[in-house]
Amino acid sequence: MKTDRNPLKDLQHSLDRIKGNLHVLKNNVSVEKQMEFFRFSEEIKNDFSDEQMIEDQMTILKSPEASNRDIKYALAFLAISGNVKAYRAIEAYNETHFDDWAVMSLMQARITLQSQFSDERQIFISSGLGGKDNLIRFYAFFKSKDGIIFSDYQKRLIEKEFPYFIQNHSGITEKIDIQDHYFSLLFLINLRIDLKIMLEETIAECNQYGDFIDRSFIITNVKRFDEEDIKNIEIFGNEEEIEMLKVTTVKTSLYGDDLIINIADIFENID
């Protein structure tokens, strides 16, 4: 069932009202794991008793005998301690450990320190595909018009025009995958950019040379489509079926004086 609601616009309007320093997780960490980390950190935030406790937790990080549960607690505790030595300990741990919990703890430690040393509110953007600096990573899927096979010239045009338009909006194209009758983009872009207009203008520019790209497309920050996803789109071939995949919630939750905005549920079909 279609709706007039535009989750991207909703988010942009929210950000316009909220002033602060944006943080985006670089790594591709599932939203469930991100929210698990923040909920756990919230639960233990009153455990701090003295400076010795920080030293004890730093020792646990270095201990080869520490259990996964102890490591998990130590990382979260040190991340919210606001202690520079604790931040360095987490940073060192991340150099040799690459699990999601360690990545999240380093991000939280950075936010906590910046919150202490700045009057500016710290805003963490939680997104399924991650991002970089103040840019969010999006995946976009496009089909050829009427299922035609792209010519070599049309493929070159796609490869040229889409990165050009994205770059003109201060974005970064990370990957273009062009198949016979569909293509996808993975790119980084500022959340305040109107993605719908940007991509519609790019399609219109390409279509001046043959009207070969369908004007309907899908944008998501949840995941990259795998073969099964693409197969389902190709089989259904209409917006009503694709719409069944659509989730359009934007969740916010307070974490101390800072803010977590979970936008990982944006899955927008544009037609």
Q: For the whole prediction, is pTM greater than 0.75?
A: no
pLDDT of residue 7: 59
- Tokens encoding 181: 């009758």
Rounded CA-CA distance 135/222 in Å is: 15
Averaged pLDDT for residues 139-150: 93
Query: Count of alpha carbons within 13 Å of 180, Cβ hemisphere only?
Result: 5
CA triple 186-223-148, angle to 5 deg: 60
Query: Count of alpha carbons within 13 Å of 98, Cβ hemisphere only?
Result: 3
Which residues are registered as beta bridge partners of 140? 185, 219
Averaged pLDDT for residues 123-132: 76
Averaged pLDDT for residues 58-62: 95
Rounded CA-CA distance 167/189 in Å is: 9
More confident residue, 173 or 28: 173
**Would you say the C-alpha torsion 187, 189, 195, 200 has a positive or negative sign?**
negative
pLDDT, tens only, 158-202: 999 999 999 999 999 999 999 999 999 999 998 778 888 899 999
Q: Is pLDDT above 50 for 53? A: yes
Nearest to 257 by CA among 131, 116, 150, 139: 116
pLDDT of residue 69: 95
Rounded CA-CA distance 165/161 in Å is: 6
Mean pLDDT of the chain: 80
Q: Residue length, the chain?
A: 271
**Which one-letter DSSP state was computed for residue 238?**
S
Q: Is 182 exposed, middle or buried (0-12, 13-18, 19+ CB in 10 A)?
A: buried
pLDDT of residue 120: 73
More confident residue, 116 or 126: 116
Cβ atoms of 245 and 139 within 8 Å: the answer is no
Rounded CA-CA distance 136/24 in Å is: 7
CATH number of the domain at 131-270, please? 3.30.70.1290
Domain boundaries, the chain: 30-120, 131-270
Query: Count of alpha carbons within 13 Å of 115, Cβ hemisphere only?
Result: 22
